[in-house]
Amino acid sequence: MQLNTMKPAEGSKKARRRVGRGIGSGLGKTAGRGHKGQKSRAGGFHKVGFEGGQMPLQRRLPKRGFKSAALKYNGEITLAALERLAADEVDLLALKAAGLVREWVKHVKIIKSGALTRKIVVKGLGVTAGARAAIEAAGGAVQDAPAARA
Q: Tell me, what's the pLDDT at 146?
A: 57
Please give the model's pTM, rounded to 2 decimal places: 0.55
Domain boundaries, given as residue ranges, for the chain? 19-61, 70-143
Residue 4 has pLDDT above 90, yes or no: yes
Percent of the chain scoring above 70 in pLDDT = 96
Distance CA 141, CA 143 (A): 6
- Residue 134: HSE in the Cβ half-sphere, 13 Å Cα cutoff: 19
pLDDT tens across 88-141, in order? 999 999 999 999 999 999 999 999 999 999 999 999 999 999 999 999 999 999
How would CATH label the architecture of 70-143?
Ribosomal Protein L15; Chain: K; domain 2 (3.100)
**Residue pLDDT, tens place only, 32-45:** 999 998 889 998 87
Q: Tell me what pLDDT residue 31 has.
A: 93
Which residues are within 8 A (CB) of 75 and not within 5 positions of it... i.e. 6 or more apart? 95, 101, 102, 105, 107, 108, 109
> Mean pLDDT for the chain?
91
Share of the chain above pLDDT 90, in %: 79
